[in-house]
Structure 1
Amino acid sequence: NGIKVQVNAPVEEEKIIAALSGNETPDVLVLSGSDNVGTWQREKLIAPLDDIIASSKIDLSDFYPAPLGLCKYGGKFYSLPWGTDTYALFWNKDLFEDAKLDPEKPPLTIEELTSFADKLTIVEGGTVKQVGFIPDFSWSHTDLYLKMFGSSPLNADRTKITLNTPEMIDCLKWQQQFYTKYGADNVLKFTSALGDYMSPDQGFYAGKIAMMVDGEWQPGPNFIQKLKPELNYGVAPFPYPAAHPERKNTNMVGGTMVVIPAGAKDKAASGKLLAWMMSPDIVAEEMAFNYNLPTSKKAAQDSRFHENKKFEVFLNLMGDPNASTWPVTAINAELNTELGAVEEQVLHAGADPAPLLKAAEEKLQPELDKTLGTS
């Protein structure tokens, strides 16, 4: 539109917070995720967007519901999604064939996945040589598994921490078994020898891990196509519990968010930039380039998002009624830290999850109450 925009990227979080609190705030801020949105809203560092959305004529009906669901806090919009991510199951077809499993049929249920993982694991002389599935490879996916088990870390109105539940306990124990069956130390020794995430020796690329959970960028030009183009693999929705077929296609959506700092000097100009960024053409260009999911329904019609059938698996998941999100609160950072510590002890040290979850819940609830003004 003939307007010059200065882009500063990447920027460390400490500098972002300093900028939000200072006199020279950016007009628009692009975040890698939603974790800080609730906290910054509480601290009045970011502006509510409802009036800006209306005056800038941003069409909210063009957004997919799941990523847009991350953007409301306290009944108002404080962010908008600019592309997003979700996760699915990848399986190595050659390793399936070696284990006498049908290489064209991934597990449909969690129970099948557990059974397949046993058949795909190879231990020789007490040393793990190949693993069927590692639940936290390359990072935690407890948000997805917990949703599959039928629960969430908070209640529906986000006023109560709900970590110490039968569903969360079952979720963590299900993950724990993939370590305890073969000895947690043995599995951790195995994973420590794997290559870096963006190298041909990454566990799944190297044929050391038969199944993994990962995102839509993997089938793209910067990952498998570049690092292991000969890999014979498939992508499918993560398996659901056999007793709950209604949870088929459950997936967790989350990714880039755009906010406007409360101290932005010209909110109208910020709104124009935001509207331009959210326009279907720009969303299509940016997400096709990055190999991420377009949050605009109109952008998703672009043929570039339909050339790769494996990518389409993720696109369909994002638009599925069972697409969901991790709840946004003012204590997301604290919640993620506590849950991460519990996961570490349960999965890697064989701890009982119940007392750890109880302690985490008792620690976090007063912090949440304080942010809600109910303490």
Structure 2
Amino acid sequence: MNKRRRSMHARPEMIKILAAVVSLSVVLAGCGGSNGGGESDTGNAGSNADADAGAKANDAAGTGNAAGAGNEAAAGDKNADAAGGDAAAGSGEKITLTLWGWSGKFQTDFTKIVIGEFEKEHPNIKVKYMPDQGGNDKLTTLIAGGTPPDVAILDRFLAGAWAAKGSLESLTPYLEMDSEISGNDYYPAVWAEGNYNNEAYAMPFGTDNRGLYYNKTLMKEAGLDPNKPPTTIDELDSMAEKIFKKSTSGGYEQVGFIPWMGQSYLYTQSWNFGGEWTKDGELTPNDPQIVKTLEWMTGYAKKYDMAKINKFNDVMGKTGINPFWTGKVGFMVDGNWILNDLKSNAKVKPTFEWSVAPMPSEEGYPQTTWAGGWSFAMPKGGKHPQEAWELLKFITGYKGTLLWAKRADAGNDITAMPKVNEEIKIADNPQLKVFLDMMPNAHFRPVTPAGQKMWDETFRVQDLALNGKGEPKKLLDEVKKNVDSELKKLQAK
């Protein structure tokens, strides 16, 4: 199952506008670590941010231990509710919990590796696995009908939207009463993405981020130092220009860099330009630095001819492998998960030298990334909240995370917990270490009920701008208007 969005072509038909968050019937675009199941683009949305709702990741980590003075009274009531399941949990009464998760191989492996161990440690609790057939529509119906699963997997990026609809239980009361787990156990951005209005609603399950893959062989052929990848946008532009090579037919035989190939979205690149998607509690998709990012992207479409780039991408699409592995791309932004291609895709047999580095940034701004991923949460209305918390805590805590990280086909996954990543020594892989080192300062998409709308809108206007159908500033002003309208509509419900 591959839920990561691949935007190689900037054509209208390739940009699917996903369903609005208002119904929560969304196509998961979230970007998250593969974790052996669904992969997210939004994204395990994946993972940090200086954004307002998402910007103070380190502050949000504190939610794992306290909801804040302003929430003390409410938290007290919730603490009483959270403790309500203790009697059943401690009485030995047999309880059956339902867990909503991906079907297929993930269901088989997760049930055996993680759920099986949980049931051994909790003999009075039986976990019934419920495959997510029907997706978010079905989950929404179950919650509305008062028959929700006790625990459910969610695109972490959308946890805030579910919470805003009143569809999730706040986890803050449980965290405040439980000394075994806290927000400090996770990367700041990964934790903050599951928080909404200073309360935790989702526990992280895996993560990912994005870096710059570079072809050392093409760099060498272009007269560049293959051991010095670009660190600034200007360096990237200059190096890429030297690698572009036209074919005898007038198209491109190889390209230097395409800023909308792979995971190089407007969201991805904007943080490298210092863009802020929220500021002072307001959504700011038309931030001047985000506008500048889209102008830079459209500059490539104009300079290198959008039609020729699309033809090149057509050829790449027929290879059956990621464009970078063809050896015809000098620089490409993509996630840690494509490292898995080296073992899982028989067609991937690179005959060129390559490596990975952090993405270049605009002069004066730090090189950065964004992380996505998945999460588990407790839907509103579950019959056994305390037992559900025990399951949730096990799955996403140290034990469950470590068990899942050690599975045979974990590949190049990054877990949401630094301690587990250290224990399984993923830093011993030099390419994967590049991604791991970026996690502490990674960004994440804003936590807002209108998050899906803003995500969809950015792809819509990116497509228009690249195809010469609008100026970046006007298009992003339009996005601002649309997301504000969506947010107002959602908040009025």
Q: 1:371 to 1:14 in 2, by over 3 A?
A: closer
Query: Identity, % of aligned pairs?
Result: 28
Moved more, 275-284 or 329-338: 275-284
Query: How high is the TM-score relative to the length of structure 1?
Result: 0.90
Q: 1:155 to 1:110 in 2, by over 3 A?
A: same
Moved more, 353-362 or 281-290: 281-290
Is residue 163–residue 361 contact of structure 1 (8 Å, CA) maintained in 2?
Answer: yes
- Return the letter of the residue paired with 1:85: D
Q: 1:194 to 1:370 in 2, by over 3 A?
A: same
Mapped to 2, the partners of 1:334 and 1:181 lie a distance apart of 31
Corresponding position of 2:435: 314
Corresponding position of 1:40: 162
Mapped to 2, the partners of 1:146 and 1:85 lie a distance apart of 18
Corresponding position of 2:215: 92
Is residue 342–residue 357 contact of structure 1 (8 Å, CA) maintained in 2?
Answer: yes
Is residue 176–residue 350 contact of structure 1 (8 Å, CA) maintained in 2?
Answer: no
CA offsets, 1:113-149, max 9 Å, x none? 1111111111134212211111121245222211111
Is residue 234–residue 362 contact of structure 2 (8 Å, CA) maintained in 1?
Answer: yes
Q: Within 5 A, what are the aligned runs for 1:73-152?
A: 73-124=196-247, 125-152=249-276
SS in 1 for 2:279: coil
Q: Give the one of 153, 157, 168 matched to 2:277.
A: 153
Corresponding position of 2:373: 255
Corresponding position of 2:14: none
Corresponding position of 2:396: 278
Matching of residue 365 in structure 1 with residue 484 in structure 2? yes
Return the offset for 1:91: 0.7
Return the offset for 1:229: 4.1
Corresponding position of 2:107: none
Matching of residue 292 in structure 1 with residue 413 in structure 2? yes
Return the offset for 1:372: 4.4
CA offsets, 1:166-218, max 9 Å, x none? 2111100111122211211111121122136xx65431111122211111122
- Return the letter of the residue paired with 1:280: Y
Is residue 184–residue 349 contact of structure 1 (8 Å, CA) maintained in 2?
Answer: no
Q: Give the one of 311, 314, 320 matched to 1:189.
A: 311
Corresponding position of 1:24: 147
Mapped to 1, the partners of 2:364 and 2:177 lie a distance apart of 48
Q: 1:309 to 1:132 in 2, by over 3 A?
A: same
Matching of residue 163 in structure 1 with residue 285 in structure 2? yes
Give structure 1 stretches of 5+ with no counterpart: none
Give structure 2 stretches of 5+ with no counterpart: 1-120
Corresponding position of 2:72: none
Query: How high is the TM-score relative to the length of structure 2?
Result: 0.69
Return the offset for 1:256: 0.9
Q: 1:286 to 1:347 in 2, by over 3 A?
A: farther
SS in 1 for 2:231: coil
- Return the letter of the residue paired with 1:324: H
Return the offset for 1:73: 0.7
Two-structure CA RMSD over aligned residues (Å): 2.1
